[in-house]
Amino acid sequence: MSGSLIIAGLGPGAAELITPEVTAALNEATDLIGYAPYVARVTEREGLTRHGSDNREELDRAGHALRLAAAGKRVVVVSSGDPGVFAMAAAVFEAVDAGDSSWRELDIKVLPGISAMFAAAARIGAPLGHDFCAINLSDNLKPWELVERRLRLAAQAGFVIALYNPLSKARPWQLGRALDLLREELPGHVPVIFASAISDAREAIDTVPLAEAVAERADMRTLVMIGSTQTRLIERVNAKPFVYTPRSVGVSS
């Protein structure tokens, strides 16, 4: 049994953001597993079987990948962005933890990728230039009360806050509620960045003050970043402003 399982990050979309390490793993794979739109980003070739699946089937997908690896296949599970950030790596290790004890001895590796928040931050300046946090706004796998608690504590800590999975058809009100709650904790001038489909043809990125931020600007593919009180805009004549958070914080902050 010489199978292996790699969980690889494809980055936000563009081919030039995929690391050579991930490209090499994709070229060696016998089986490719993941959410169908991510699997479709990898070119077909002889010797590669592509198994696309629906969203929200992470544990089934992880089990499938582990069984194929245990049977001797070279399996690559693909995630968008970084596989360790609200993506397939945790799902695979949950399946290993709960599954057959022989799975623990498989050759399992995670290959990092460019996460959505760093790709989005890079596009607009350096909004994550100081301490920051990342919160999955979905309440599919945790109680909404915990999301609210984390948002309040993060704002009180002065973190820049990156919100993943801000809304979906099944979760239409959560982002609006989160923005209202953050307006209770932070001044209205704090910049909020809405970043969608970074590095692909539909890329869109905009900054508005928290006082004017509305959930309708976001969709399933949007990453939302809430600045801290320190986050600043640099206005430009013929381009959108740069947004950055300075490295220094004064004693009064």
Nearer to a second copy, 16 or 46 (CB): 16
Total residues at interface with a second copy (CB under 8 A): 80
Near a second copy in 45-104, by CB under 8 A:
58, 82-86, 89-94, 96-97, 104
Nearer to a second copy, 93 or 219 (CB): 93
111 interacts with a second copy by CB under 8 A: yes
Near a second copy in 219-248, by CB under 8 A:
232, 234-239, 242, 244-248
Give 106-168 as a DSSP string: SEEEEE----HHHHHHHHHEETTSSSEEEEE---SSS-HHHHHHHHHHHHHHT-EEEEES--B
User: Least CB distance from residue 88 to a second copy, whole Å?
Assistant: 9
User: 23 and 15 in contact (C-beta within 8 Å)?
Assistant: no
Near a second copy in 154-183, by CB under 8 A:
154, 156-159
In terms of Cβ atoms closer than 10 Å to its own Cβ (0-12, 13-18, 19+), residue 122 is middle
User: Least CB distance from residue 163 to a second copy, whole Å?
Assistant: 10
Encoded amino acid at 120, one letter: A
Of residues 68, 99, 83, 71, the one with CA closest to residue 38: 83
CB proximity list for 95: less than 8 A, separation 6 or greater: 59, 62, 63, 66, 103
User: Least CB distance from residue 215 to a second copy, whole Å?
Assistant: 20
Of the listed pieces 32-40, 129-137, 169-177, 208-216, which binds a second copy according to CB under 8 A? 129-137
**Cα atoms in the Cβ-side hemisphere of radius 13 Å centred on 62:** 22
User: Least CB distance from residue 150 to a second copy, whole Å?
Assistant: 5
From candidates 5, 13, 63, 115, binder to a second copy by CB under 8 A: 115
Near a second copy in 186-215, by CB under 8 A:
none
From candidates 26, 75, 114, 182, binder to a second copy by CB under 8 A: 114
Distance CA 79, CA 191 (A): 29
17 interacts with a second copy by CB under 8 A: yes
User: 186 and 229 in contact (C-beta within 8 Å)?
Assistant: yes
Nearer to a second copy, 145 or 216 (CB): 145
Distance CA 232, CA 243 (A): 6
